[in-house]
Amino acid sequence: MVQIDAATRPVTLLGWPIEHTLSPLIHNTGFRKQDLNYLYTASAVPPELIGEAVTGLRALDFAGANVTIPHKEAVGRYLDDVSAEARAVGAVNTIVLEKKGEERRLFGDNTDVAGFIEPLSPLRERIQGSDVLIFGSGGAARAVAYALLRGLAPSRLTIAARSPGKAERLADDLSPYDSGDVLEVRSLANARPQVRASRLLVNATPVGMAPDTEGTIWPNVDDFSAEQVAYDLVYRPRTTRWLREAGERGATTIGGLDMLIAQAAASYRHWTGRDLPEEAVRQALRTRTPE
């Protein structure tokens, strides 16, 4: 049993608001299971105080932090260095306090990139080098698009979004990583041929998330097939309507909980040097995420 004492290493989540987060449950389950003297809390930080909150991590000797909406883009300027992933995506979701002698440096990473790719590893051969489509053009879509360009060498990478202007900006920003010129933007209304042609479909919108569980980003179930992989970033519920319908047409499905755990595992490794005990975490999450 871990005691909170003078040696306890604090980690916190910086967000606004932070009520619905599962991160404290995930990380504290890991710390307890591995008997690590760490404590994970959640901090509601209004946008005007984010700079003070980040530099305070250094002063207070925190092990690090997670960063969530609306601060992911803002925190970079208060850090000493960021990873190639965080730089490319333009967002930081993990901060690590690194110590060298007396010096304390703040390093930022974006573990959504590794967290997204990890659940695809068993399917890599099936989807590597094929057409891929992402629904949405927000923060998560950015991390997903970068991860796919770097990790899966798609023959075509379509961003299908209701706001094509925002999707065009995403494509422009990621063009340095698009050496094969595979990125394209489509409106949802014009996406059908690519939905049918893509081996991997990713929902990076909140459509289908509780309480609106009847929503689906692609209601035309005839476009799904057994060759496809459907990957939904939404994890509440664990199986969304979109995922269920793709699965009923034979597609292989991946729910958002796998990415949630994988990105958390990458953050946990940064702070503790240990692997997150994933089975214990899955067990703990079962009670908090409806099927």
Question: Closest separation between CB of residue 134 and ligand NAP, Å?
Answer: 9
In the chain, what is the greatest distance between 2 CA atoms, to the nearest angstrom? 61
Helix (H, G, I), strand (E, B) or coil at 160: strand
Which residues bind to ligand NAP, rule: CB under 6 A? Answer: 112, 115, 136-141, 161-163, 166, 204-207, 209, 233-235, 256, 259-260, 263
The smaller minimum CB distance to ligand NAP, of residues 64 and 256, is found at 256
Question: Closest separation between CB of residue 140 and ligand NAP, Å?
Answer: 3
Which regions of the chain does DSSP assign to beta strands (E)?
9-15, 38-44, 64-67, 81-82, 94-100, 103-109, 131-135, 156-161, 183-187, 200-203, 229-232, 252-254
Which two structure tokens, joined as six digits, stand for 198? Answer: 């893509």
**C-beta of residue 257 within 8 angstroms of C-beta of residue 235:** yes
Which two structure tokens, joined as six digits, stand for 266? Answer: 């990458």
The smaller minimum CB distance to ligand NAP, of residues 131 and 258, is found at 258
**C-beta of residue 166 within 8 angstroms of C-beta of residue 139:** no
Question: Closest separation between CB of residue 126 and ligand NAP, Å?
Answer: 21
Half-sphere exposure of 162 (CA within 13 A, CB side): 7
Question: Closest separation between CB of residue 5 and ligand NAP, Å?
Answer: 32
What burial letters (b/e) apply to 103-139, b meaning 16+ CB within 10 Å?
eeebbbbbbbbbbbbbbbeebeeebeebbbbbbbbbb
How far, in Å, CA of 133 to CA of 127, rounded? Answer: 12
**C-beta of residue 149 within 8 angstroms of C-beta of residue 158:** no
Shortest-Cβ-distance residue relative to ligand NAP: 138
Question: Closest separation between CB of residue 209 and ligand NAP, Å?
Answer: 5
The smaller minimum CB distance to ligand NAP, of residues 136 and 154, is found at 136
The smaller minimum CB distance to ligand NAP, of residues 56 and 70, is found at 70
The smaller minimum CB distance to ligand NAP, of residues 26 and 97, is found at 26
Question: Closest separation between CB of residue 103 and ligand NAP, Å?
Answer: 32
Which two structure tokens, joined as six digits, stand for 59? Answer: 């002063």
**C-beta of residue 24 within 8 angstroms of C-beta of residue 40:** yes
DSSP 205: S
The smaller minimum CB distance to ligand NAP, of residues 65 and 97, is found at 65
Q: Say which residues have a Cβ less than 8 Å from residue 239's Cβ, sequence separation at least 6.
A: 247, 253, 255, 291
Catalytic center residues: 72
